Structure 1
Amino acid sequence: MSDDADRRTAAAVGRAVQSRIYRAGVFGRRPVVPVEPEALETAARARMSDVAWAYVAGGAGRQRTVQANRDAFDRHRIVPRMLVDVEQRDTSVELFGRRLPAPLLFAPIGVLELAHRDADHAVARAARALDLPMVISSQASVPMEAVARTLGDAPRWFQLYWSKDDDVVDSFVSRAEDIGSDALVVTLDTHVLGWRTRDLDLAYLPFARGEGIAQYTSDPAFRRLVEARAATRAPADEPAPRPTPAAVRALHSMASHYPGRTRDNLRSPLPRAAVETFLDVFSRSSLTWADLARLRERTSLPIVLKGIQHPGDAALALEHGVDGIVVSNHGGRQVDGAIGSLDALPTVVEVVGGRIPVLFDSGIRSGADVVTALALGATAVLVGRPWVYGLALAGAEGARAVMQHLWAELDLTMALSGVRCVDEIGRDLLAPA
């Protein structure tokens, strides 16, 4: 069965993917990327550079929140029901007026060039093949307009880091509208970077080398800030120290990532000014709930808040008229020792009471994990690290395969648990706490 047929016939996804893998095995062919989650992670670790692995897989501090995300899933057990007619199943869900074939979204992940040279284009091709939404990151390696062209008709959302510069915020929102985004995802939990020990030990911040700032260097409002900064830069009072090989590589990276020819950029102050400007305006720690009203004035797109963990914040989100919530702790990358994302989900769902969609992020590693999150009240889930590992191993095909494997396991877990559609997945599917 073709991938197109898989998408059209939700009930056949699990068996079709499973059968295709086993049929290929008769001819000695194995899956394009490992299916088993730990094997996938191990293979990606062997392929990725030290700095890429630290950035993608690492968390904050002692990595306790990363572990808490996984431990939370281990505390829940599915209780299958028997003798239910599950021959026909439906994995689709509706979000913001669009029917999605599965409750799966490609989470916003920045600096994808660290994992694969095709970066966001590869992920867009994977999302397009599956007709699943890609949440385009503010920290993408490719401008959103180029990603949108690769996505074609596939759904896309845009994730916004709220800049200190209002003109940059306005421009990003306007561009997100222009590329046909279905929603605006405002990430709340990264107004400053967490204490990411693995990155710190390598003294590696990709943005300081011009990596992962393509949304900014392609943005007219940001470029005006860069040009103004470069024009007012005072000559150094003292001779610059002799550059080290690492400094030369960093300057070349800045030049190669800035629009234009690298040769010309090496002689220009703009690439370095762009990095400095980004580091100055990246995100804003002074935001309050009142600022959401200003964002609502800027756009008619649904506004989804990502990073909600406290039920009090869920109540405030409702009070301020947001259209959706993502329960997330940024994959454990921000606060060490924070609550596991799945542990935070039920109380947020209870407060929301079905009035807006509650999505889930942080810790999904399998289709059974997806079922657990849905059973605890999530409308859909965002998946991050697993498909990045697939991307590192096999580009677009790797990212597509990881998400298709999750989808297939979701479908088969539903069948084996006596569930015919996503709406039937509820708390009664799980053993009592």
Structure 2
Amino acid sequence: MWKTQQCPQDWKRSVFIPTPKKSNAEECSNYRTIALISHASKVMLKILQARLQRYVNRELPDVQAGFRKGRGTRDQIANICWIIEKAREFQKNIKLITWRWKLYPRMLRNVAEIDLSTSVLGQKVSMPICVGATAMQCMAHVDGELATVRACRSLGTGMMLSSWATSSIEEVAEAGPEAIRWLQLYIYKDREVTKQLVRRAERMGYKAIFVTVDTPYLGNRFDDVRNRFKMPPQLRMKNFETNDLAFSPKENFGDKSGLAAYVAKAIDPSISWEDIKWLRRLTSLPIVAKGILRGDDAKAAVKHGLDGILVSNHGARQLDGVPATIDVLPEIVEAVEGKVEVFLDGGVRKGTDVLKALALGAKAVFVGRPIIWGLASQGEKGVQDVLEILKEEFWLAMALSGCQNVKVIDKTLKADTCEEERHQSSSDSFSCLSMMVKTWL
């Protein structure tokens, strides 16, 4: 069964592994499933997230849903030990924010009135919770990025538009003329393509460029490979005119992930700090490096004139084994010495997550997957609901921590749990499960 991968579909789509009963090991009916980690499930399946995720899985076709939750490499079924390790990676962003970092609230601080507002790259936002770049949003809802930017305008926060959007730079600007908009940018092999994206963003009033630096190639995403992912026939990346750059569904990518093939063909893997210099000369807009995970890279970004750093591991979908973003945030903040603004994405699911990120030095956080779940559920209203829930939770977290405004949030609010406690809470169940699996094999 493991060689042919002829097993029930729900085994492939969940964070579960099969456990054999005492019977014929060749029969699927003689297997049951067990959850990998009960504690992580409590975090990941909190009420809002569980409801939205179930809705997405039910309403979207397999290929689209797989793209939204996809992460991992090919041997997900054949190598059970790999599944265990991958589950550890999948939950790392959320787990470390929730478990590792603790909050130490101040008392008797008069929190009758609380101001959540802050600024991002000189633009005032109602809260330090912004919408991150997620590609091809029309796969989740017919209004796609247009619904998202309208929701951001309603909440008074900013939206980072993906270059790979299914709505154009101009369409999003027209849908949210008063919204704060930033453009996420890849550097293409054809530099003229990149240049024109920047020029269009400037003309349409976008306030900054977030250049992705962690994708010379696309990570090996098992769900995308299995589903042979490509764009639905009615959609295209609308910032590009030609079929090859617009990721046309008419193209044949064979047995591979279409998006991986697109990146290999279009995105320049040779980019270096020299290209960042070129981009800096190209525009006067603030430029943020998206995907930095090391202190020395952060220092290099400052040296090359960048205006900010977004600590990101691309939703844990690029390189297996990278740290959670919350784990490297203190190193990045220390490295830049206050010279540029530092932001964080990855694993932000609750208001207390936002508070912890700010206590560790982030100016604001960017949210991705929860926004898509809200979009898939109810379009603009769904995105508004997600942002409002996070805003209300953040407000309460600030009140209970004795913070009247974001300026008083500092590192005295948080503390790192000890290494022994962290290992005991996160590794024991994996170790036992690994031993059981190795016995079966």
**Partner of residue 188 from structure 1, selected from 213, 220, 228:** 213
Shift of the alpha carbon at 1:81?
A: 2.0
Q: What residue in structure 2 maps to residue 93 of structure 1?
A: 118
**1:65–1:335: 8 Å Cα contact kept in structure 2?**
no
Structure 1 residue ranges without an equivalent (≥5):
1-33, 227-249, 256-274
CA separation in 1, counterparts of 2:169 and 2:327?
33
Q: What residue in structure 2 maps to residue 60 of structure 1?
A: 72
Shift of the alpha carbon at 1:315?
A: 1.0
**2:101–2:415: 8 Å Cα contact kept in structure 1?**
yes
Shift of the alpha carbon at 1:180?
A: 0.6
**2:118–2:126: 8 Å Cα contact kept in structure 1?**
yes
User: In structure 2, what residue type is equivalent to 1:418?
Assistant: G
Shift of the alpha carbon at 1:407?
A: 0.8
**2:217–2:263: 8 Å Cα contact kept in structure 1?**
no
Partner SS state of residue 327, structure 2: helix
CA separation in 2, counterparts of 1:387 and 1:284?
29
Q: What residue in structure 2 maps to residue 295 of structure 1?
A: 279
Q: What residue in structure 2 maps to residue 38 of structure 1?
A: 50
Shift of the alpha carbon at 1:96?
A: 2.1
CA 1:426 to 1:305, structure 2 compared with 1: closer, same or farther past 3 Å? same
**2:217–2:260: 8 Å Cα contact kept in structure 1?**
no
Shift of the alpha carbon at 1:37?
A: 2.8
**2:217–2:264: 8 Å Cα contact kept in structure 1?**
no
**1:63–1:336: 8 Å Cα contact kept in structure 2?**
no
CA 1:316 to 1:48, structure 2 compared with 1: closer, same or farther past 3 Å? same
**1:60–1:335: 8 Å Cα contact kept in structure 2?**
no
CA separation in 2, counterparts of 1:321 and 1:145?
28
Please give the residue correspondences for 1:134-283 in structure 2 after superposition, counting only pairs within 5 Å: 134-206=159-231, 211-217=235-241, 253-254=249-250, 281-283=265-267
Partner SS state of residue 431, structure 1: strand
CA separation in 1, counterparts of 2:393 and 2:201?
32
User: In structure 1, what residue type is equivalent to 2:152?
Assistant: A
State TM-score, norm by structure 2.
Answer: 0.75
User: In structure 2, what residue type is equivalent to 1:101?
Assistant: S
Structure 2 residue ranges without an equivalent (≥5):
1-45, 74-85, 252-258, 418-441
**Partner of residue 421 from structure 1, selected from 373, 387, 405:** 405
For the pair 1:130 / 2:155, whether they are aligned, the reply is yes
Shift of the alpha carbon at 1:85?
A: 0.2
CA separation in 2, counterparts of 1:198 and 1:279?
17
CA separation in 2, counterparts of 1:81 and 1:322?
35
Q: Which structure: greater strand fraction?
A: 2
Q: What residue in structure 2 maps to residue 431 of structure 1?
A: 415
Q: What residue in structure 1 maps to residue 389 of structure 2?
A: 405
Q: What residue in structure 1 maps to residue 5 of structure 2?
A: none
Partner SS state of residue 103, structure 2: coil
CA 1:138 to 1:331, structure 2 compared with 1: closer, same or farther past 3 Å? same
Q: What residue in structure 2 maps to residue 379 of structure 1?
A: 363
User: In structure 1, what residue type is equivalent to 2:57?
Assistant: R
1:225-252 Cα offsets, whole Å, 9 max, x none, are 98xxxxxxxxxxxxxxxxxxxxxxx98x
**1:135–1:157: 8 Å Cα contact kept in structure 2?**
yes
Higher mean Cα deviation, 48-57 or 320-329? 48-57
CA 1:375 to 1:167, structure 2 compared with 1: closer, same or farther past 3 Å? same
**2:126–2:157: 8 Å Cα contact kept in structure 1?**
yes
CA separation in 2, counterparts of 1:57 and 1:395?
18
CA 1:180 to 1:63, structure 2 compared with 1: closer, same or farther past 3 Å? farther
Partner SS state of residue 156, structure 1: strand
Shift of the alpha carbon at 1:39?
A: 3.2
Shift of the alpha carbon at 1:48?
A: 2.5
Higher mean Cα deviation, 61-70 or 377-386? 61-70
CA 1:79 to 1:119, structure 2 compared with 1: closer, same or farther past 3 Å? same
CA separation in 2, counterparts of 1:276 and 1:197?
11
Partner SS state of residue 362, structure 2: coil
Partner SS state of residue 123, structure 1: helix
**Partner of residue 302 from structure 2, selected from 318, 341, 346:** 318
Higher mean Cα deviation, 50-59 or 159-168? 50-59
CA separation in 2, counterparts of 1:118 and 1:210?
13
**Partner of residue 63 from structure 2, selected from 40, 51, 54:** 51
Shift of the alpha carbon at 1:38?
A: 3.0
Q: What residue in structure 2 maps to residue 395 of structure 1?
A: 379
CA separation in 1, counterparts of 2:126 and 2:118?
7
How many residues matched?
352
CA 1:357 to 1:206, structure 2 compared with 1: closer, same or farther past 3 Å? same
Partner SS state of residue 240, structure 2: helix
CA separation in 2, counterparts of 1:144 and 1:89?
35
CA 1:179 to 1:254, structure 2 compared with 1: closer, same or farther past 3 Å? farther
CA separation in 1, counterparts of 2:93 and 2:376?
23
1:251-304 Cα offsets, whole Å, 9 max, x none, are 8x549xxxxxxxxxxxxxxxxxxx999666531110011111111111000000
CA separation in 1, counterparts of 2:87 and 2:297?
24
**1:66–1:363: 8 Å Cα contact kept in structure 2?**
no
1:292-340 Cα offsets, whole Å, 9 max, x none, are 1111111000000000001111111111110000000001011112111
1:23-63 Cα offsets, whole Å, 9 max, x none, are xxxxxxxxxxx963333323333332222221112223335
**1:211–1:254: 8 Å Cα contact kept in structure 2?**
no
Q: Percent identity?
A: 37
Shift of the alpha carbon at 1:210?
A: 7.9
